[in-house]
Amino acid sequence: MPLRANLSALDNIALIPQYRSNQKYAEAADQAWALLVETGFQDMHAKRDPALSHSERFVTKLLRAVISKPAILLIDRPAMLLPEVHYPPFMFSMLERMTTYLDDCWIVDYQWNRALYDAHLDYPELDQAQP
């Protein structure tokens, strides 16, 4: 889901529990701040969408999904979301930090990119997946 361009990264993340659970801003912002600190991206808290790098935008969207209950995540073609970094290590580093928050996570990518994931995944059920 696109970020609100007029809100900071912190406010974009905090918006989700405010909308879904009618939380007060202070509580939602505290949760959002804790997630930013956990990922190491707290320095971007005041940036708005146009000022965010691709990586910062990805993290903001990831944390918006993580702060939702239940946290179900679908990442579609991550190379398009993270063009400035070698995305598998970056993406899996962020996902590893968020494992306690995630209920389910699916990554959808092209079959020819499978080799990029093999070093990061050890799931036998992926062998049964269809292209």
Written as one letter, the residue type at 6 is: N
Nearest C-alpha neighbor of 52 from the set 81, 29, 76, 91: 81
**Crossing angle of helices 9-21/54-66, nearest 10°?**
20
What is the token pair recorded at 121?
Answer: 């995944």
Confidence of residue 122 (pLDDT cuts 50, 70, 90): low
Domains of the chain in sequence order? 9-128 (3.40.50.300)
**In this predicted model, which residue has the larger pLDDT, 45 or 124?**
45
68-85 average pLDDT score: 84
Which among 66, 80, 68, 69 is positioned nearest to 108, based on CA atoms? Answer: 80
- For the cut 60, the answer to whether the pLDDT of residue 130 exceeds it is no
Comparing 5-9, 43-47, 119-123, the range with the smallest average pLDDT is: 119-123
Neighbours of 24 (CB within 10 A): 11
Tell me which residue has tokens 């398009």: 80
Is the pLDDT at 123 greater than 70? The verdict is no
Give the pLDDT score at 126: 47
